[in-house]
Structure 1
Amino acid sequence: MLKRSLLCLMAGMIALPALAQFRVEVSGIGLTQLPIAIAPFRGDDTSPQKVGAIVQADLERSGQFRLIDAAGSGLDENARPDMSPWRQKGADSLAAGSVTRLADGRYDVRFRLWDAVRGQDLGGQSYAVTVGDLRLAAHRIADFIYEKLTGDKGAFSTRIAYVTKAGARYSLWVADADGENAQAALTSPEPIISPAWSPNGAQLAYVSFESRKPVVYVHDIATGRRRLVANFRGSNSAPAWSPDGRTLAVTLSRDGVSQIYGLDAAAGGEPRRLSQSSSIDTEPVYSPDGKSIYFVSDRGGSPQIYRMPASGGAADRVTFTGTYNISPSISQDGRWLAYISRVSGAFKLHVMELASGSTTPITETSADESPSFAPNSRLIVYATKQHDREALMTTTLDGKLKARLAGQGGDIREPDWGPFQKQN
């Protein structure tokens, strides 16, 4: 089995209805979880989006929280709740809120968070949003709760990109981090692969086969405008952004064998060769500090992951466990490498702690691909196959808790998790 991300030529995918919805199925139990009660939001029953339920699903999917039943509590953000009953239920914290339709058609979304153990008010937020931004408001509430209780920044209001194929048409989608609210950024009769978010979340680089060969475009999400940045002789593939957004690392075969080059992300121009081997070098990804590029090479006889200076130069081998390791992804905190390893013919997601080199297999599936870290480094999104259908999954770094974002009657491919977004 040849992985699409390695050779850039595998484009066959099973059809997916264009407006497929997702449902979240969480499996597994995290080792340490914070017990929290989230009261049903007042007004949720008449709201177009169930804000409280979205907040609960976000927190549960993170693997950091255990939900305590709060049905029938009748609380909102103005309540002064007695914490004793909540402590007796085992809750360490309590959240409540409301959704109210305003006269201008917008919705007023409010909530408050309490420390049930200490009896402290931990603050709250309010948003006046259009109906289209109700989900975003819910994700931002979940981000607030996550950060207050864990100390880490929440990533629920970020976005993911992925590719589908419906009939003879391919689509590049941008969706909420939970897979919902998908919007088509591009549709094409030719394959689209390898989407990669720019560091500011405003653009996507990707590979298109519209020219009957792989070429690299950069696509502006807000306007839909795009520009061709790599259309050299041979194959142009596997774009990756530098952390400052100024450079794109790409794989080009212009000199006969696939090697890694650097391109000016804005102006394009003549590429600068970074890797120097007679083997296939591909799938570049920058380290968060911008000093290194991790990539896949078969220079040792089989695909393995290597690291070289971002300016090019000698490369060091990173993966030593297994004979076939591809698709590197580096966490934003620089601690972890996620990749796909072929084990007894099965392709499985692995996570390596870079400081120690310790490697852990994360999944029990056999067709995993395209891992990508959340911008807070706490979750990984990847594609896999379950029950002969391709699915989008998230997992905690220990593999203890996974969430399935399942399309109805089709496949989802090539996920990439976007960066943190600035709040307006």
Structure 2
Amino acid sequence: MVDRVLALLASLCAFALLSAPAQAALTIDITQAVKDGRPVAVVPFGGNGGGQTDIGAVIRADLNRSGLFRIMDPRTFPAQPHTPGEVNLGTWKSIGTDALVIGRVQPAGGQLSVEFRLYAPGNGQELAAQRFTVPESELRALAHRIADIIYEKLTGEPGAFFSRLAYITQSGKTYRLNVSDSDGANPQVVVSSRAPLMSPAWSPDGRKLAYVSFEAGRSAVYIQDLGTGKRERVAFYPGINSAPAFSPDGRSLALSLSRDGNAELYVLDLSSRELRRLTNNPAIDTEPTWSPDGRSIVFTSDRSGSPQLYRVAAGGGEPRRLTFSGSYNAAATYAPRGGTIAFVHRSGGVYTLARINEDGSGLRVLDQTANNESPSFAPNGRMALYATRRGGRQVLAAVSVDGRVKQVIQVPREDIREPAWSPR
């Protein structure tokens, strides 16, 4: 938010990079789900491979987190089939199973062969059948990919389980930028600092993160390659350097700079390092987010007297105001396929999560709880992740775009904020 950038300018300390040590895993609790979720049975995978990874359990947990399905308890299953010849679809239909998943894991030349099948017992159809060969270290990631396939076959929409989360945690005076799988597993610390870290933003290919650090005595924008660990400082101009956002093609970075005396929007060409100014107004312009087609940028500005959302062409021009309802509208994020913008909306003194159509129409509040901030869409656009407060602690929450599915995400003994969902 606008005032947060200014307030953090006074916080300065030492900085350290870590060699990706493990961090406490996130815990995800479903607080609201679709009441008439489709009954899905995921039979524990058979075979004699898999090591410590229970593929069936990972798939069940993924589908359960979507809030769209009622995951059946394996202890109630009438059978434990692992191959097509062992499946009696009539039996599963008789107990009301809408979808059945079976599979097995077998050793394959130093790797693992994983096969699965998805059935619709109601009409007797086989909806999916695939086989993969992966090293054991990639078994959990493969389980997320299989869950995505199942989700798409059952809903017609792409899944988002094979994706990652970036987020900031704070414990005492230590700030950490973390990355984990979408279910909170495999958490890794990317950066640890005694100075504030904020505003993580994914590159379109999911390989890099841009973020703001105060390690050098004032704010600066860095880009870090998650594969190599290499990082580069790309903005360290006098004044504020904040709110980085990659363009959809990954070639540019939109950000807010006060290098000319006032917080304005700029676009930085990451190859030539050419800086192009987008806005010119005495107000504070910040928090840019690109439209999926790269043709426009939505941002926060208080040029009308209070923080509101505006849209400007990526090539420059006169911004157009999008929000008029409420005294505070900020921190916009575009849905990956466009059409919808999520943002923080204040109404009656409460900061809620809301969405509008990209033309500014159709305002809808998604979460009525207070103190919400920093929304970020899942790569399929189905859910929005955001920071909030629950029980006196800073946690993350997720809500579906129709408001029917809600989750709370937290780290034991730490505050967590500034979430960013990877594009893939």
> Normalising by structure 2, what TM-score?
0.91
Q: 1:76 offset after TM fit, Å?
A: 1.4
Q: Partners of 2:260 and 2:267 in 1: how far apart?
A: 14
| 1:381 counterpart residue number | 385
Q: 1:160 offset after TM fit, Å?
A: 1.3
Given that residues 48 and 131 in structure 1 are in contact (C-alpha distance below 8 angstroms), is that contact kept between their aligned partners in structure 2? no
| 1:367 counterpart residue number | 371
Q: Partners of 1:10 and 1:175 in 2: how far apart?
A: 30
Q: 1:376 offset after TM fit, Å?
A: 0.9
Q: Does 1:411 align with 2:423?
A: no
Q: 1:345 offset after TM fit, Å?
A: 2.7
Aligned residue identity for 1:4: R
Q: Partners of 1:413 and 1:27 in 2: how far apart?
A: 19
Q: Find the partner of 1:286 among 265, 287, 290.
A: 290
Q: Find the partner of 2:173 among 168, 171, 175.
A: 168
Q: Does 1:197 align with 2:216?
A: no
1:164-212 CA-to-partner distances (Å, cap 9, x unmatched) read: 1234332211111112211112222221110100111111111111111
Long gaps (5+) in structure 2: 13-20
Q: 1:305 offset after TM fit, Å?
A: 0.5
| 1:185 counterpart residue number | 190
| 2:154 counterpart residue number | 149
Matched position secondary structure for 1:98: strand
Q: Does 1:4 align with 2:9?
A: no
Q: Does 1:316 align with 2:292?
A: no
1:329-385 CA-to-partner distances (Å, cap 9, x unmatched) read: 010111211101123332211122335711121113212111100111111111111
1:206-246 CA-to-partner distances (Å, cap 9, x unmatched) read: 11111111111111110010111111111110001111111
Q: 1:326 offset after TM fit, Å?
A: 0.9
Matched position secondary structure for 1:362: strand
Q: Does 1:219 align with 2:224?
A: yes
Q: Find the partner of 1:259 among 248, 257, 264.
A: 264
Q: 1:43 offset after TM fit, Å?
A: 5.7
Q: Does 1:30 align with 2:44?
A: no
Q: 1:253 offset after TM fit, Å?
A: 0.4
Given that residues 114 and 121 in structure 1 are in contact (C-alpha distance below 8 angstroms), is that contact kept between their aligned partners in structure 2? yes
Structure 2 matches for 1:17-416, cutoff 5 A?
A: 19-30=23-34, 33-42=37-46, 47-71=51-75, 72=77, 73-100=79-106, 104=110, 106-269=111-274, 271-354=275-358, 357-416=361-420
Specify whether residues 6 and 25 from structure 1 end up closer, same or farther in structure 2 by C-alpha distance, changes over 3 A only. farther
Aligned length: 414
Q: Partners of 1:100 and 1:278 in 2: how far apart?
A: 65
Given that residues 199 and 244 in structure 1 are in contact (C-alpha distance below 8 angstroms), is that contact kept between their aligned partners in structure 2? yes
Given that residues 103 and 115 in structure 2 are in contact (C-alpha distance below 8 angstroms), is that contact kept between their aligned partners in structure 1? yes
1:379-410 CA-to-partner distances (Å, cap 9, x unmatched) read: 11111111111212221112211122221111
Alignment root-mean-square deviation, CA = 2.4
Specify whether residues 372 and 353 from structure 1 end up closer, same or farther in structure 2 by C-alpha distance, changes over 3 A only. same
Given that residues 248 and 294 in structure 2 are in contact (C-alpha distance below 8 angstroms), is that contact kept between their aligned partners in structure 1? yes
> Normalising by structure 1, what TM-score?
0.91
Specify whether residues 101 and 409 from structure 1 end up closer, same or farther in structure 2 by C-alpha distance, changes over 3 A only. farther
Given that residues 44 and 74 in structure 2 are in contact (C-alpha distance below 8 angstroms), is that contact kept between their aligned partners in structure 1? yes
Long gaps (5+) in structure 1: none
